[in-house]
Amino acid sequence: MDNDIDSIDKKITEVANDNLDALEETLDHIDEIDDISDLQDTAKEMVDDCSKDDLKKVLKLLIKIARKEEE
């Protein structure tokens, strides 16, 4: 039973990493994408899944970007 659970966990992690790799590759071509709403939705989902500490890091980065845009 433990082997089945470990196997399922490993597969879930593998799929999640594949999805992150695909997202990262998409970012390399973002200038060619007209409609970025799917990427924005993905980013929102990722933020929703963040821990408080990770959310703090994300928000600090967004604040830094927003301040640069004001200059």
My answer on whether 46 and 27 are in the same domain is no
CA–centroid distance for 28 within its chain: 14
My answer on whether 27 and 39 are in the same domain is no
Q: What tokens appear for 57 in the block? A: 């890091």
My answer on whether 29 and 42 are in the same domain is no
DSSP secondary structure code for residue 31 in this structure: G
**Residue 68 belongs to domain spanning:** 35-71
My answer on whether 39 and 70 are in the same domain is yes
Residues of the chain with pLDDT below 50 are none
Query: In Å, what is the CA distance from 41 to each residue of 23, 48, 60, 63?
Result: 12, 11, 20, 19
pLDDT for 71 equals 74
Given CA atoms 40, 26, 22, 56 in this order, what sign does their dihedral have? negative
pLDDT for 3 equals 79
My answer on whether 26 and 45 are in the same domain is no
Number of domains, the chain: 2
> Strand, helix or coil at 61?
helix
